[in-house]
Amino acid sequence: MRTLIKNVEIVTMDSDNHYYPSGVILFSGDTIEYVGIEQNLPANLNENTEKVKEIDGRGMLALPGFVNAHTHSAMTIFRGYADNLPLWEWLTTRIWPLEEKLQPGYTYWLSMLAAAEMISAGVTAFSDMYMFMTDTAKAVEDSGMRAVLARGLMGPDDQSEQRHKEVEELAEWRYRAEGRIHMMISPHAVYTCSPEYLKTCRKLAEKYQTGIHIHMSETAKEVADCVREYGKTPVRHLYDLGIFELPVAAAHCVHLTDDDMDLMAENHVKAIHCPSSNMKLASGFAPVDKMIERGITVALGSDGAASSNNLSIFKEMSLASLIAKGYTGNATALSAETAVKMATIMGAKALMLQDEIGSLEPGKKADIQLIDMSGPHYYPKEDPLVHLVYSGYSGDVDTVIINGKIVMEHRKLTTIDLEQVYREVDNVARKIK
Ligand SMILES: [Zn+2]
């Protein structure tokens, strides 16, 4: 089955920044065949007897689907439940006691809620670190999303063996759902994993030939405790343990020294910037402009809905750019174009999926969002990326395609029964809250 999106404004986010004020996107099955002006469409299109489905993209902007590079999707259940608290107190007094009550099966519906929210906001791929991840894998399969999943690991303690069993079960889901499910290994952080255990996690990642997804240097307390205990920063600590010999995506990276950033750049550690979570938990300002200056890949993450209250990459793009300018006192810091790169191609790199997604070009997967640019907040017409970052809302996303399949059409979800998801999430809330 081939699909042709016509009369659409296209921002490709490819390495040459190709832009078409009015063009077409042709995809066949799950793969993009052509992006460009209609006149240059492959000649065989009309000769082919196979039917071509057409989508009219008039008034829309086509952009690669956003990548939410750090989230805990099942934490949608805690949305609005614990606010106005610093990270440590928030975790220990509100979140962890409730997490104890989560059961297998519950997290399927909590992840479906997250998938519905992300698709509605143009997010087509996400990277998740949590528990009961085979539930989330099933939600990824059913919702049609693309994801890199990881069982969050801490320890060692008496639960470690059980968690490793869950890693093994998750590994069975790898490459399933038409290849949309991937896996990483996720030691939670340096303050919840011993040095020996971090090495165990490294071995696990080697065994599964994948990368590491970790929280790193999120708060001043984390860094100070690490320096007190090991005599070095979390970044230097992880480097010394050999973790950076593997691909690493590190969430937060708020409190970094120049030496930390040099180590990250030299070892191709990707940072995942989560500005709304960092602001709300008062963790601080990540030095995003300095990381980008050093050539570090910086992606965007919403973090869980418990800490940032929604999973919108639109919001993270806007905050990332505004905070970088306000914090540095430099109005040229973190442009709208950089923010959109962080939300798309840099996100794909953080997920180790840059060969598949992150830009609209032939050979890549058809993960596409069509954004309705007809609202008054997009007038008059100017640079579409500037409009998206400073004027855009998640609700402007009209149609979302993942792996060549339409998962939202004119704001109607095609793979998720939202009413059923709400009912099931209410059931879980009654059981645990
Ligand atoms: Zn997190």
- pLDDT tens digits in sequence order for the chain, 433 residues long: 899 999 999 999 999 999 999 999 999 999 999 999 999 998 776 666 678 999 999 999 999 999 999 999 999 999 998 888 887 888 899 888 999 999 999 999 999 999 999 999 999 999 999 999 999 999 999 999 999 999 999 999 999 999 999 999 999 999 999 999 999 999 999 999 999 999 999 999 999 999 999 999 999 999 999 999 999 999 999 999 999 999 999 999 999 999 999 999 999 999 999 999 999 999 999 999 999 999 999 999 999 998 889 999 999 999 999 999 999 999 999 999 999 999 999 999 999 999 999 999 999 999 999 999 999 999 999 999 999 999 999 999 999 999 999 999 999 999 999 999 999 999 999 999 8
| Cα angle: 411, vertex 127, 111; to 5 degrees | 55
DSSP 8-state assignment for residue 241: T
Task: Measure 254 CA to ligand 1 centroid, in angstroms.
Answer: 13
Task: Measure 120 CA to ligand 1 centroid, in angstroms.
Answer: 21
- Beta carbons of 313 and 350 less than 8 angstroms apart: no
The token pair that represents 283 in the structure block: 């963790």
Task: Measure 291 CA to ligand 1 centroid, in angstroms.
Answer: 20
Do the domain assignments include residue 383? yes
What 3-state class would DSSP assign to 342?
helix
- Phi first, then psi: what are they for 74, rounded to 5°? -70, -10
| Cα angle: 125, vertex 128, 130; to 5 degrees | 160
Same domain, 104 and 190: yes
Do the domain assignments include residue 397? yes
Task: Measure 90 CA to ligand 1 centroid, in angstroms.
Answer: 13
Task: Measure 167 CA to ligand 1 centroid, in angstroms.
Answer: 18
CA 42 from chain centre, in angstroms, equals 33
Residue positions counted in the chain: 433
Task: Measure 383 CA to ligand 1 centroid, in angstroms.
Answer: 33
Same domain, 308 and 362: no
Q: Which domain holds residue 53?
A: 2-64+356-413
Same domain, 43 and 80: no
Question: Which residues on adjacent β-strands are paired with residue 65?
Answer: none
Task: Measure 152 CA to ligand 1 centroid, in angstroms.
Answer: 10
- The torsion of the CA quartet 8, 12, 13, 15, rounded to 10 degrees, works out to -150
Q: Which residue has the tokens 């997604």?
A: 357
Task: Measure 198 CA to ligand 1 centroid, in angstroms.
Answer: 17
Question: Which residues on adjacent β-strands are paired with residue 153?
Answer: 187
239: which residues sit within 8 A by CB, 6+ positions away?
Answer: 263, 267
Do the domain assignments include residue 400? yes
Q: Which of these, 302, 299, 295, lies nearest to 357 by C-alpha position?
A: 299
Instruction: Give the Cα separation of 216 and 272 in Å (integer).
Output: 10
Do the domain assignments include residue 150? yes
Domain boundary, last residue among 325, 350, 375? 350
Task: Measure 385 CA to ligand 1 centroid, in angstroms.
Answer: 27
Task: Measure 129 CA to ligand 1 centroid, in angstroms.
Answer: 7
What 3-state class would DSSP assign to 63?
strand
The token pair that represents 208 in the structure block: 């599964």
Q: Which of these, 98, 155, 96, 104, lies nearest to 133 by C-alpha position?
A: 104
Same domain, 329 and 403: no
Same domain, 262 and 320: yes
Task: Measure 308 CA to ligand 1 centroid, in angstroms.
Answer: 10
Same domain, 126 and 244: yes
What 3-state class would DSSP assign to 359?
coil
Same domain, 24 and 75: no
Q: In terms of DSSP bridges, do strands 270-273 and 298-300 run parallel, antiparallel, or are they unpaired?
A: parallel
Q: Which residue has the tokens 């002006």?
A: 37
Task: Measure 237 CA to ligand 1 centroid, in angstroms.
Answer: 20
Same domain, 278 and 133: yes
Task: Measure 303 CA to ligand 1 centroid, in angstroms.
Answer: 5
The token pair that represents 184 in the structure block: 């990483």
CATH of the domain at 32: 2.30.40.10
- Phi first, then psi: what are they for 278, rounded to 5°? -65, -35
Same domain, 144 and 160: yes
Task: Measure 251 CA to ligand 1 centroid, in angstroms.
Answer: 7
Do the domain assignments include residue 225? yes
CATH of the domain at 292: 3.20.20.140
Query: Which amino acid is present at 339?
Result: A
327: number of Cβ within 10 Å: 16
Same domain, 118 and 237: yes
Instruction: Give the Cα separation of 289 and 296 in Å (integer).
Output: 10
Task: Measure 70 CA to ligand 1 centroid, in angstroms.
Answer: 6
Domain count, the chain: 2
Same domain, 24 and 166: no
Task: Measure 304 CA to ligand 1 centroid, in angstroms.
Answer: 6
Task: Measure 391 CA to ligand 1 centroid, in angstroms.
Answer: 27
Task: Measure 38 CA to ligand 1 centroid, in angstroms.
Answer: 43
Same domain, 57 and 81: no
Q: In terms of DSSP bridges, do strands 146-153 and 298-300 run parallel, antiparallel, or are they unpaired?
A: unpaired
Task: Measure 71 CA to ligand 1 centroid, in angstroms.
Answer: 6
Do the domain assignments include residue 420? no
Task: Measure 17 CA to ligand 1 centroid, in angstroms.
Answer: 31
Do the domain assignments include residue 424? no
Per DSSP, helices labelled H in 27-95 are: 44-47, 87-89
Task: Name the strands in the sheet holding 212-216, side by side, starting at the edge strand that comes first in the sequence.
Answer: 212-216, 248-252, 270-273, 298-300
Do the domain assignments include residue 428? no
Q: Which of these, 356, 332, 326, lies nearest to 344 by C-alpha position?
A: 356
